[in-house]
Amino acid sequence: MTGPPRNAFTRRDMLRATLLGAGTLALPSCSAVGAGLLDTGPSAGSLAYWNLFGGGDGVRMTQMEDGYRRANPGVDLQAVTLAWGNPYYTKLALATVGDKPPDVAVSHLTRMKTLAAGNLLQELRPEDLERHGMTADRFNRRAWDAGLIDGRIYAIPIDTHPFVLFYNTKICDEAGLLDAKGKLRPIRGQDAFVDALTRLKKVTGQYGATHGINSDTATPWRLFQTLYAQLGGEVLADDGTRIVIDDAKARQVLDFLRQLTVEKGLMPGSIDYQGAIALFASGAAGFHLNGEWEISTFQTAQTPFSMTLVPNVFGGDYAVQADSHTLVLPVRPDQDDRARLDLSLGFVRSMLDQSLTWAEGGHVPAWQPFATSGRYEKLTPQSDYAAAADAAVYDPPAWYSGSGSNFEIVMGSAVGAVESGGMSAEAAIAQIRSKLSELANTAPPV
């Protein structure tokens, strides 16, 4: 009987391969991967931190994480950045449900309410916070109060990030829009705004202003909400179960936006987020409407720019769309571990102490010891729009609402479609009503 051919896979080869495979399993057992595979839990000196900061924000947050590492060499900080919006919150919620959450996570204030309603966040007790010097009076009043749920604390606000106006100082100077000190003269009213954009378009030869529209539902919503709130309008009531859109006011805002993009060509109606930034940075437009976080991007691009509040276009009480970033502690199986709680709160405090770096990234700090100090006043253009924090209009509370939520996607898609000329204002309002009423009539899953 002949044996197996020379090059066949023999029993000996099989045993050798198995031993090698088992050997390689021993290698990752020291790391987090091995910890996950073997379910041994995080080691005592490690801290997992999730955030959703990319772009300019991401650069600042990395600097702050490095600052924490330098001050705490004994702690292994594992920071993870995930894609902004629904993907981040889906992963955070599922990780918490699966008992493998990060120690500390970033959450928008408007989304934090839904997470807390789903019992996914640890309640923060005042006595624990006091141990780390975080008391209610040391935070921006509006941001702090907006984050309380029945008087209980679930999140620590680190900033308010409003929708702002970037302006190219050189182009605005040529267009005659600057005052004697080189700052943009306040623009009040629709006609003044259209006039400013027309002058800028004449100087640049392309556009007056830009903002993201394609594949970007957040920016059109933020612009709409700013103008709509200036008219005094609201969208949802009763925790999102009732839709209270004022058709006339919504129509007024949408028609105004359509006029700017489609009819007068003062803003491009079809440009994505990065494209809008690129057009402003390269001088193809004089204004850029975006969140203040893109300040780092334009500083790196060395565009001659400054920032200010979005103009009060419709003239009512000043309002501007904003949200706040907060730090939350997800519910975890080893919640009673006091050492881990202190480690996490220590990290939160460290982020607050580095508010200068964060404010340099454009945000209005919520930590008052820094916000009221001279150093913040000296930060320009960041301190030019600090008033926005007190005029901030947050997204209406609902289980399907918040930054990057389905609510923003529904609103932003419709507004974006109007701006790109693909949909009329009536059709957009009808689409908004029908899609929101589906969400409003659904029983909340939290």
Partner 1 sequence: MATTIEPPTIRTPPPARRTTGTRREARPLGHGRPALLMLAPFLVLYVLFIVGPAVYGVVMSFFDTSMVSTGLGTFAGFDNYGEALTSGDFWAAMWHTLWFTILTTPPLIVLALVFALLAERARRARWFFRLAFFLPYILPSAVVALIWIWMYTPALGLLTRTMTALGFAEPNWLGDPDWAMVSLAVTTVWWTLGFNFVLYLAGLQDIPRDLYEASAIDGAGPWQQIRMITLPLLSRTTSLVVVLQIIASMKVFDQMYIMTQGGPNFATRSLLEYVFDVGFTDFRSGYAAAASTLFFVAVLAVSTGWVVMTRRQEPEL
Q: Is 37 in the site for partner 1 (CB under 8 A)?
A: no
Judged on CB neighbours under 10 Å (0-12, 13-18, 19+), 266 is: buried
Give the nearest distance from C-beta 37 to partner 1 in angstroms.
17
Give φ, ψ of 290 to 5 degrees.
Answer: -165, 175
Give the nearest distance from C-beta 209 to partner 1 in angstroms.
17
**Contact letters (x/-) for partner 1, 94-113, by CB under 8 A?**
x--x----------------
Kindly indicate which of the ranges 105-113, 272-280, 336-344, 360-368 contains the residues binding partner 1, using the contact rule CB under 8 A.
272-280
Find the largest Cα–Cα distance for the chain.
103
Kindly indicate which of the ranges 53-61, 157-165, 269-277, 342-350 contains the residues binding partner 1, using the contact rule CB under 8 A.
269-277
Q: What is the DSSP string of 93-144?
A: HHHHHTT---SEEEEEHHHHHHHHHTT-BPPBPHHHHHHTT--GGGB-HHHH
Give φ, ψ of 357 to 5 degrees.
Answer: -60, -45
> Given candidates 10, 18, 29, 119, which one binds partner 1 under the rule CB under 8 A?
119
Q: Is 438 in the site for partner 1 (CB under 8 A)?
A: yes
State which amino acid sits at residue 143: A
Q: Which is nearer to partner 1, 64 or 276 (CB)?
A: 276
Q: Which is nearer to partner 1, 67 or 118 (CB)?
A: 118
First-to-last C-alpha distance (Å) of the chain: 70
Give the nearest distance from C-beta 446 to partner 1 in angstroms.
6
**Contact letters (x/-) for partner 1, 57-96, by CB under 8 A?**
-----------------------------x--xx--xx--
Q: How many angstroms separate the CA atoms of 23 and 163, rounded?
A: 55
**Contact letters (x/-) for partner 1, 184-213, by CB under 8 A?**
-----------------------------x
Kindly indicate which of the ranges 41-49, 177-185, 249-257, 411-419 contains the residues binding partner 1, using the contact rule CB under 8 A.
411-419
Beta strands in 302-432 (DSSP E): 305-309, 320-323, 325-328, 364-365, 392-393
> Given candidates 275, 346, 356, 368, which one binds partner 1 under the rule CB under 8 A?
275
Q: Which is nearer to partner 1, 323 or 419 (CB)?
A: 419
**What residues pair up with 367 in beta bridges, in sequence order?**
139
**Residues 429/254, Cβ–Cβ less than 8 Å:** yes
Q: Is 443 in the site for partner 1 (CB under 8 A)?
A: yes
Kindly indicate which of the ranges 7-15, 45-53, 368-376, 417-425 contains the residues binding partner 1, using the contact rule CB under 8 A.
417-425
Q: Is 403 in the site for partner 1 (CB under 8 A)?
A: no
Q: Is 2 in the site for partner 1 (CB under 8 A)?
A: yes
Give the nearest distance from C-beta 416 to partner 1 in angstroms.
7
Residues in contact with partner 1, total (CB under 8 A)?
37
Give the nearest distance from C-beta 57 to partner 1 in angstroms.
20
State which amino acid sits at residue 228: Y
What sign results for the dihedral spanned by CA atoms 361, 362, 367, 372?
Answer: positive
Give the nearest distance from C-beta 404 to partner 1 in angstroms.
10
Q: How many angstroms separate the CA atoms of 148 and 440, rounded?
A: 23
Kindly indicate which of the ranges 63-71, 336-344, 372-380, 410-418 contains the residues binding partner 1, using the contact rule CB under 8 A.
410-418
**Residues 165/289, Cβ–Cβ less than 8 Å:** yes
> Given candidates 34, 118, 265, 283, which one binds partner 1 under the rule CB under 8 A?
118
What is the enclosing helix (H) or strand (E) of 242? strand 242-243
> Given candidates 75, 278, 379, 430, which one binds partner 1 under the rule CB under 8 A?
278
Q: Which two tokens stand for residue 393?
A: 């209009």
Q: Is 406 in the site for partner 1 (CB under 8 A)?
A: yes
Other beta carbons less than 10 A from residue 297's beta carbon: 21
Q: How many angstroms separate the CA atoms of 134 and 342, rounded?
A: 12
Give the nearest distance from C-beta 191 to partner 1 in angstroms.
31
- Across 200-236, b (16+ Cβ under 10 Å) vs e yields bbebbebbbbbbbbbebbbbbbbbbbbbbbbbebebb
Query: How many CA atoms within 13 Å lie on the side-chain side of 440?
Result: 20
> Given candidates 29, 31, 198, 434, which one binds partner 1 under the rule CB under 8 A?
434
Query: How many CA atoms within 13 Å lie on the side-chain side of 98?
Result: 12
Binding site for partner 1 (CB under 8 A): 1-2, 86, 89-90, 93-94, 97, 118-120, 213-215, 217, 270-272, 274-275, 278, 400, 406, 409, 413-414, 416-417, 420, 422, 434-435, 438, 442-443, 445-446
